[in-house]
Structure 1
Amino acid sequence: MTRQGFQPAQRLIDIASAVRTDPDLSRAALAKLLAHHGEGPDDLTEAAFSDTGAQELKDAATGMCEILAETDLDRAALMLNSLLAEHAAAPRLTRHDGHTWHLHTDHGDDAGWGNWFLASSALALAQILSEHGRITWGACQASNCRNFYLGTGPGSPRRYCSTTCASRARVAAHRRRRQEDSHK
């Protein structure tokens, strides 16, 4: 039985949100996130995914936060091009560990976790940007939320990471309006 294909853009959103929320996120917590996104147990042992590898991944995720928070299409495209030029290699199709064929753009199997994450994440966002012709990701606009969102569906552009954050923002705005009206 083969597994579903990878979703590198959603993996980026989940890891960048987790690291942005908790910069001291443990190696074990990162490994759990990676496992959720299809990385095999052999790749997530302490020997294969060491504390150094976890730190590389956290640094890469922190670096991606700037692109995920960017709202200007041209600046986002230039930032992605810069990342692709620095971290990506010629794309190659690969199939391993029971996964379906998928693209790798890192510098090979010996590339570090940071290079792998930056190359695959930049490629994923570049594909989304070229497909939709606009930025479909961003930082949640709810106060006190540090998560990012990925919105590739039809309809109005997203502003929140979840319906919970959207509802809280609507309720807070409603209360503010009522408060303002009562002071008039």
Structure 2
Amino acid sequence: MSMRQNDSPSTRPASSPEMRERGAERALGLLLLVDLVNEIAPGDPVTAPERWRDVLLRHGADAADLARQPPPHATAVLAAVARLRALFAVREMAELAAHVNPVLAAEGARPRLAEVRPGAWAVRAETDEDGDPALRVLVVGAFALAAWAAERGRIAWGICAAAGCNRTFIDEGRRAPQRFCRPACATRSRVRAHRARLGG
């Protein structure tokens, strides 16, 4: 995948146009997971289900299908988001396996080849339709992250290293691992480090 000329792997914005174009080809759309974790505040059961629905719609979910489904329970949404954020904090493949495998086993996830859009196919995790919607997204999301890590051969995501920022990101770089969620955080961190050196 090409990057814009001025983007480096450590400062590239997580929601690049190239990635948004390819996101639907992955098991769930990794940017969907990023937005769920970044936009649903921990400990806020009042707005969690509504924000959950808004993110799904923004990432291409069918409004009629969502209307026919029972809304996810707020506690289930917050629990799913917390577990997804825990996956974004993982730094080693063995640790990822220890997190993901129990989730997939407990919920009986079944891999299947699915056409995610005309002409684009991906391996997805299928779960029981009767389960809580938030739990289904957790299972499919865990599968998507595991597949992405296996494809890249490393943990290719993270939580922003900038002070005061805890946003998650997906790393699509092919060189140095990405450390920041967006260029603004990388610039702010460089300025902070430079001032610290001058002050020292």
Task: State the match for 1:14 in structure 2.
Answer: 35
- Cα deviation, residue 153, structure 1: 2.4
- Is there any run of 5+ residues in structure 2 with no aligned partner, and where? 1-23
Q: Aligned residues, how many?
A: 174
Q: What are the residue-to-residue correspondences of 1:50-129 with 2, within 5 Å?
A: 50=71, 52=73, 54-94=74-114, 103-129=123-149
2:171 to 133, 146, 151: 151
Q: Offset of 1:173 from its aligned partner?
A: 0.8
Q: Give, in whole Å, the separation in 1 of the partners of 2:122 and 2:152.
A: 21
Whether the 8 Å contact between 1:8 and 1:120 is mirrored in structure 2 is no
Deviation at 1:43, TM superposition (A): 3.0
Query: Could you tell me whether the CA contact under 8 Å between 1:138 and 1:159 is conserved in 2?
Result: yes
> 1:129 Cα deviation (Å)?
1.2
Residue 194 (structure 2) aligns with: 174
Q: Which has the higher contact order (CA 8 A, sep 6+)?
A: 2
Report how far residue 88 of structure 1 moved. Answer: 4.2
| TM norm structure 1 | 0.81
Change over 3 Å in CA distance of 1:97–1:108 after alignment to 2: farther
Q: Is the 8 A contact 2:124 2:144 kept in 1?
A: no
Q: Indicate the larger mover: 58-67 or 135-144.
A: 58-67
C-alpha spacing 1:111/1:175, structure 2 compared with 1 (3 Å)? same
CA distance in 1, matches of 2:147, 2:116: 23
After TM superposition, give the deviation of residue 27 of structure 1 in Å. 2.5
The residue type paired with residue 150 of structure 1 is: I
1 CA distance for matches of 2:50 and 2:176?
Answer: 37
CA–CA distance in 2 between the matches of 1:30 and 1:51?
A: 9
- After alignment, is 75-84 or 95-104 more displaced? 95-104
1:29-40 to structure 2, matched below 5 A, reads: 29-40=51-62
Classify the secondary structure of the residue corresponding to 1:168: helix
Distance 1:172 1:115, change over 3 A: same
Structure of larger gyration radius = 1
| SS of alignment partner, residue 185 of structure 2 | helix
Q: Identity of aligned pairs, percent?
A: 28
**Is 1:131–2:151 an aligned residue pair?**
yes
Structure 1, unpaired ranges of 5+: none
